[in-house]
Structure 1
């Protein structure tokens, strides 16, 4: 039996595949570090130095600086790790989903409720 692999493309979103995972390794590693309160404080005290310590590339650093969540996703960020960074900004995973889909947070939440029925 032959199997084929289909890629689902969602307009306006980056597909998190192996290439994007490699591209985003440093960014995701940095975001994972935010599990520790001391690291969140270190980031707040010196964002540039903290990003440099993790080896973020120019695209990733610009997206961090600009608080551009969609840019972070395009730069290899995984939504589950980016949730740690979003928490620093006062955002939650539903905020990230709303940003990805171009919806308001309330519309995104309603869509989730309807999909769960």
Structure 2
């Protein structure tokens, strides 16, 4: 069996992570509906129980710990739905994932975009 490649600062989302995070991602997908977002905010604990989140996932939700959610099998695209409830955008998620402030993350993006392409 081949080892999965390690890329610094990333979390591999593979089949095992998808299975581990199924309940969490299903719950986050439900946030496409405004009524579901409101229901979550009105009773987070009950909402998490209804989707069958495990304790690590529920604790990460309670702590608003995006990195913890990634470790718990969260898919960044589904977690973006949860982040929206918290009034966070994709740059906030990127900053959290890389361990820098949002301003530092944005500066990195600008610097990266200003690099010449090397083919």
TM-score, structure 2 length as denominator?
0.88
Compute the RMSD of aligned alpha carbons.
1.6
Q: Please state how far the C-alpha of 1:113 moved relative to its aligned partner.
A: 1.7
What's 2:104 paired with? 107
State the alpha-carbon separation in 1 of the partners of residues 35 and 50 from structure 2: 15
What's 2:53 paired with? 56
Out of 6, 9, 12, the residue aligned to residue 7 of structure 2 is 9
Q: Please state how far the C-alpha of 1:5 moved relative to its aligned partner.
A: 8.4
Query: 1:62-77 alignment to 2 at 5 Å?
Result: 62-77=59-74
Q: Does 1:78 align with 2:82?
A: no
State the alpha-carbon separation in 2 of the partners of residues 18 and 114 from structure 1: 34
TM-score, structure 1 length as denominator?
0.89
Q: Which runs of 4+ in 1 moved over 2 A?
A: none
Count how many residue pairs are aligned between Structure 1 and Structure 2.
Answer: 113
State the alpha-carbon separation in 2 of the partners of residues 94 and 57 from structure 1: 27
SS in 2 for 1:103: coil
For structure 2, the residue ranges without an aligned partner over 5 or more in a row are: 115-119
What's 2:18 paired with? 21
Out of 13, 32, 35, the residue aligned to residue 35 of structure 1 is 32
What's 1:95 paired with? 92
